[in-house]
């Protein structure tokens, strides 16, 4: 993995299951069944990638599976190969529970060919009944239109479901066994930064590691970082990061000497945060074997406020750099790193990163601006997508530079790309459109630099968030929408009354006219905490699928009902999808408990 995580990348295991009756039936089906497995493999390998850029690998069982012995041989192979996701395929009748995948920890789907010469779909129904009865929820995939027996193509609706399942299940498999690194603990009484090890362990299969912020200070003082990289990083920062206006009162402003020292500290903090997450072989060469190992962290967060920031430069610069798809070493996979150690925002950032392979935005969900309020303070009307009101996403200068909307696709549209598609020009534009302003000393006595920019373009995005509810457990909320580029004269007035040293994204959710999505105000009012994780693209349906694999119910979303894809067992909990989701998640409980 690019970000040097320990452990193999999970593979996708494909199980071609077959009618085991030899002397005619089985033989006539061997080729067609294996071909389905090969077609699924091609579809998956051609379309999906890991966030580190690696190709997805599929493993097909050595033989078709006609009964229990062959199912066991397949399970054995999958275990040796490190399979983390299971897809069973078949065109025909098979012996439901005899050929089933009985491993409780691996997400499962079954694709039954919709033909009529052989009963693939009726097997699917029998198989899913078995999975449900045994408490192993599985996704059922069954094309809408009947295909002829010889047809080896995969219909579009089946493709969509296979890819949605595999993408979500691989995201789940990648988190398992990895770490959330909590640097410091609770920031300003924010509940999400009271990192809950039971949630991580039971629902995500993850470890939580706690490191006191004094460790960062020790590494600064004892120079435990790669000094060569530090010189390179500082030079790059001086040459490429544009220092913004100092908005502090002249009486509290730092002089040039202090500011230069702060730059040095924030660069060191960035190296140290990263090394704490994933280790660094260079530290071993320098005699720090223990520090060289890191903590296998797939996500992390830094408390910062207040003990650290009252005394030392804040984490904004480091958080921005880590969350961006590039730094002094070039273009690379973005890290998932939460401001204020809000682990319940880090988790949806991690979901978004694993589902889209792109950098994630961390923001306060700060203000709902109604059209009337905007008119009152600016004298101007909101128009276009913004006309029913906007939500101000902004945090203390810690957001990924990928969110400047300066990365462009081939048509010149603003996008946020997986790092392997990010170009040098994209990086230059992101940097040119970002200022690093001396931090607001009222909040940050120790100074530091906050990234400041405006998301300058219309992009489809999805905001999400996990909240923990005592007695219920975790719930996920999802709002698909768009970033909007407000007229500069409206933006300036609204931004100035908030904090002109921070990065701003103007967000408009898609409205449905009902419930939490009745209007923009209701979305803001229904948001469960002060933060949101914002991911490029409309990924609500993928998040819903992923949440169901993890047994996390979704309490609010604006995704079309037709795109909701959950294990077939959810149908047994009633026709109202939201209520059924809660009941099913409660019934099956967290996967790793
Ligand atoms: C500087 C302030 O303390 C901010 O960090 C604060 O408004 C928040 O971001 C709260 O989440
Ligand atoms: Mn915040």
Is residue 338 predicted with pLDDT exceeding 60?
Answer: yes
pLDDT digits (tens, 9 = 90+) for 141-189: 999 999 998 899 999 999 999 999 999 999 999 999 999 999 999 999 9
Indicate the DSSP class of residue 223. T
Q: Cα separation of 316 and 334, whole Å?
A: 15
Query: Ligand 1 centre and the CA of 281: distance in Å?
Result: 35
Q: How confident is the model at residue 116 (pLDDT cuts 50, 70, 90)?
A: confident
Mean pLDDT for 478-501 is 94
Q: Which of 396, 438, 451, 465 to mutate to test the pocket of ligand 1 (most atoms within 8 A of CB)?
A: 396
CATH number of the domain at 11-175, please? 3.40.50.1070
Mean pLDDT for 352-360 is 98
Q: How confident is the model at residue 98 (pLDDT cuts 50, 70, 90)?
A: very high
Is residue 3 predicted with pLDDT exceeding 70?
Answer: no
Nearest CA to ligand 1 atom 9: 395
Is the CB of residue 129 less than 8 Å from the CB of residue 155? Answer: no
CA end-to-end distance (rounded Å), the chain: 27
Tell me the C-alpha to C-alpha distance, in Å, between residue 581 and each of 284, 351, 422, 463. Answer: 49, 19, 38, 20
Is the CB of residue 558 less than 8 Å from the CB of residue 517? Answer: yes
Nearest ligand (C-alpha, residue 444): 1
Question: Quick check: helix, strand or coil at residue 405?
Answer: coil
Is the CB of residue 13 less than 8 Å from the CB of residue 87? Answer: yes
Give 480-515 as a DSSP string.
EEEEE---HHHHHHHHHTT-TTS-EEEEEEPP-SSG
Query: Ligand 2 centre and the CA of 328: distance in Å?
Result: 26
Indicate whether residue 364 lines ligand 1 (CB < 6 A).
yes
For residue 443, which atom of ligand 1 is closest to its CA?
Answer: 1
Query: Ligand 1 centre and the CA of 522: distance in Å?
Result: 22
Share the mean pLDDT of the chain: 97
Is residue 448 predicted with pLDDT exceeding 90?
Answer: yes
Residue (of 148, 196, 205) closest to 176 by Cα position: 205
Indicate whether residue 499 lines ligand 1 (CB < 6 A).
no
pLDDT digits (tens, 9 = 90+) for 288-303: 999 999 999 999 999 9
472: Cβ contacts below 8 Å, ≥ 6 apart: none
Q: Is the model's pTM score more than 0.95?
A: yes
Query: Ligand 1 centre and the CA of 396: distance in Å?
Result: 6
Nearest ligand (C-alpha, residue 448): 1
Indicate whether residue 530 lines ligand 1 (CB < 6 A).
yes
Q: Which of 398, 443, 449, 498 to mutate to test the pocket of ligand 1 (most atoms within 8 A of CB)?
A: 443
pLDDT digits (tens, 9 = 90+) for 21-50: 999 999 999 999 999 999 999 999 999 999
For residue 342, which atom of ligand 1 is closest to its CA?
Answer: 11
Indicate whether residue 396 lines ligand 1 (CB < 6 A).
yes
Task: Look at residue 102 in the predicted model and tell me its pLDDT.
Answer: 95
Indicate whether residue 296 lines ligand 1 (CB < 6 A).
no
Nearest CA to ligand 1 atom 5: 396
Q: Hey, which residues are catalytic here? A: 340, 364
**Partners of residue 408 on adjacent β-strands:** 414
Query: Ligand 1 centre and the CA of 18: distance in Å?
Result: 58
pLDDT digits (tens, 9 = 90+) for 227-286: 999 999 999 999 999 999 999 999 999 999 999 999 999 999 999 999 999 999 999 999
Start-end of CATH 3.20.14.10 domains in the chain: 179-588
Start-end of CATH 3.40.50.1070 domains in the chain: 11-175
Nearest CA to ligand 1 atom 4: 396
Query: How far from the centroid of its chain's Cα atoms is residue 361's Cα?
Result: 10
Residue 228: its H or E element:
helix 227-240
Query: In the block, which residue shows the tokens 């790669």?
Result: 226
Is the CB of residue 84 less than 8 Å from the CB of residue 115? Answer: no
Tell me the C-alpha to C-alpha distance, in Å, between residue 154 and each of 35, 119, 148, 248. Answer: 11, 17, 12, 61
Q: Which of 364, 365, 367, 528 to mutate to test the pocket of ligand 1 (most atoms within 8 A of CB)?
A: 364
pLDDT digits (tens, 9 = 90+) for 306-322: 999 999 999 999 999 99
Is the CB of residue 115 less than 8 Å from the CB of residue 147? Answer: yes
Structure tokens at 529: 């905490």
Query: Ligand 2 centre and the CA of 267: distance in Å?
Result: 22
Task: Tell which phi-psi region holds residue 591, choosing left (phi > 0), alpha (psi between -120 and 50) or beta.
Answer: alpha
Indicate whether residue 443 lines ligand 1 (CB < 6 A).
yes
Indicate whether residue 400 lines ligand 1 (CB < 6 A).
no
Nearest CA to ligand 1 atom 3: 443
Indicate the DSSP class of residue 49. B
Q: Cα separation of 57 and 55, whole Å?
A: 6
Indicate the DSSP class of residue 361. E
Task: Look at residue 2 in the predicted model and tell me its pLDDT.
Answer: 46
Is residue 391 predicted with pLDDT exceeding 90?
Answer: yes
Structure tokens at 426: 């994209």
Question: Quick check: helix, strand or coil at residue 416?
Answer: coil
Q: What is the ipTM of this complex?
A: 0.97
Q: Which of 184, 186, 187, 188 to mutate to test the pocket of ligand 1 (most atoms within 8 A of CB)?
A: 188
Query: Ligand 1 centre and the CA of 545: distance in Å?
Result: 32
Indicate whether residue 305 lines ligand 1 (CB < 6 A).
yes
Give 157-222 as a DSSP string.
HHHHHHHHHHHHHHHHHHHTT-EEEEESS-STT-GGGS--HHHIIIII--EEEEE-THHHHHHHHT
Indicate whether residue 558 lines ligand 1 (CB < 6 A).
no
Asked if residue 578 has a cis previous peptide bond (ω within 30° of 0), the answer is no
Is residue 1 predicted with pLDDT exceeding 50?
Answer: no
Looking at the chain, how many residues does it have?
593
Indicate whether residue 363 lines ligand 1 (CB < 6 A).
no
Question: How much of the chain is helix, strand and coil, in % rounded to 5?
Answer: 40, 20, 40
Query: Ligand 1 centre and the CA of 74: distance in Å?
Result: 52
Indicate whether residue 208 lines ligand 1 (CB < 6 A).
no
Nearest ligand (C-alpha, residue 316): 1
CATH architecture of the domain covering 179-588: Alpha-Beta Barrel (3.20)
Nearest ligand (C-alpha, residue 443): 1
Task: Look at residue 516 in the predicted model and tell me its pLDDT.
Answer: 98
**Residues placed in the known binding site for Mn(2+):** 340, 364, 531
Percent of the chain with pLDDT over 90: 96
Q: Cα separation of 489 and 493, whole Å?
A: 7
Residue 401: its H or E element:
none
**Residues placed in the known binding site:** 340, 364, 531
């Amino acid at each position: 993995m690019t970000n040097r995580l320990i452990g193999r990348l999970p593979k996708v295991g494909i199980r071609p299951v077959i009618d085991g009756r030899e002397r005619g039936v089985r033989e006539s089906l061997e080729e067609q069944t294996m071909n389905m497995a090969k077609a699924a493999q091609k579809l998956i390998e051609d379309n999906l990638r890991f966030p580190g850029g690696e190709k997805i690998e599929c493993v097909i069982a050595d033989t078709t599976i006609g009964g229990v012995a062959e199912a066991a041989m397949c399970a054995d192979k999958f275990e040796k190969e490190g399979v983390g996701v299971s897809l069973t395929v078949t065109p025909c009748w098979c012996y439901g529970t005899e050929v089933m995948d009985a491993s409780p920890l691996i997400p499962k789907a079954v694709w039954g060919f919709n033909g009529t010469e052989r009963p693939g779909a009726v097997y699917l129904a029998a198989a899913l009944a078995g999975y449900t009865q045994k408490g192993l929820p599985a996704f059922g995939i069954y094309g809408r239109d009947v295909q002829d027996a010889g047809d080896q193509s995969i219909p579009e609706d089946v493709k969509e479901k296979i890819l949605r399942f595999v993408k979500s299940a691989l995201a789940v498999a990648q988190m398992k066994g990895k770490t959330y690194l909590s640097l410091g603990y609770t920031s300003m009484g924010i509940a999400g930064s009271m990192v809950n090890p039971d949630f991580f362990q039971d629902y995500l299969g993850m470890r939580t590691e706690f490191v006191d912020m004094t460790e960062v200070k020790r590494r600064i003082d004892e120079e435990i970082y790669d000094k060569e990289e530090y010189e390179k990083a500082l030079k790059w920062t001086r040459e490429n990061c544009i220092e913004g206006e100092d908005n502090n009162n002249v009486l509290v402003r730092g002089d040039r000497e202090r500011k230069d020292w702060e730059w040095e500290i924030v660069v060191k903090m960035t190296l140290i945060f990263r090394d704490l997450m994933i280790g660094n072989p260079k530290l071993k060469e320098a005699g720090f074997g223990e520090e060289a190992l890191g903590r296998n962290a797939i996500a992390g967060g830094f408390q910062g406020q207040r003990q650290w920031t009252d005394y030392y430069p804040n984490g904004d610069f480091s958080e921005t750099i880590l969350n961006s798809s590039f730094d002094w070493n070039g273009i690379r996979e973005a890290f998932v790193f939460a401001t204020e150690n809000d682990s319940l925002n880090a988790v949806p950032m991690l979901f978004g990163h694993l589902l889209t392979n792109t950098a994630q935005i961390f923001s306060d969900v700060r203000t709902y601006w109604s059209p009337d309020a905007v008119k009152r303070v600016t004298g101007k009307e909101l128009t276009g997508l913004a006309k029913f009101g906007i939500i101000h996403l902004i945090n203390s200068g810690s957001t990924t530079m990928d969110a400047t909307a300066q990365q462009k696709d081939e048509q010149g549209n603003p996008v946020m790309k997986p790092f392997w598609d990010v170009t040098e020009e994209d990086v230059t534009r992101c940097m040119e459109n970002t200022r690093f302003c001396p931090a607001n000393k009222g909040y940050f006595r120790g100074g530091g630099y906050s990234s400041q920019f405006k998301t300058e373009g219309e992009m489809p995005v999805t905001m999400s968030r996990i909240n923990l509810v005592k007695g219920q457990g975790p719930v996920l909320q999802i709002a698909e929408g768009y970033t909007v580029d407000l007229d500069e004269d409206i933006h300036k007035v609204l931004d100035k009354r908030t904090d002109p040293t921070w990065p701003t994204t103007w967000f408009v959710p898609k409205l449905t006219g009902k419930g939490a999505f009745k209007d923009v105000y209701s979305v803001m009012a229904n948001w469960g905490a002060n933060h949101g994780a914002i991911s490029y693209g409309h990924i609500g349906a993928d998040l819903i699928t992923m949440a169901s694999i993890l047994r996390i119910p979704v309490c609010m979303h604006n995704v079309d009902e037709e795109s909701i894809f959950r294990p077939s067992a959810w149908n047994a909990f009633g026709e109202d999808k939201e209520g059924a989701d809660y009941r099913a998640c409660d019934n099956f409980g967290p996967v790793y408990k």
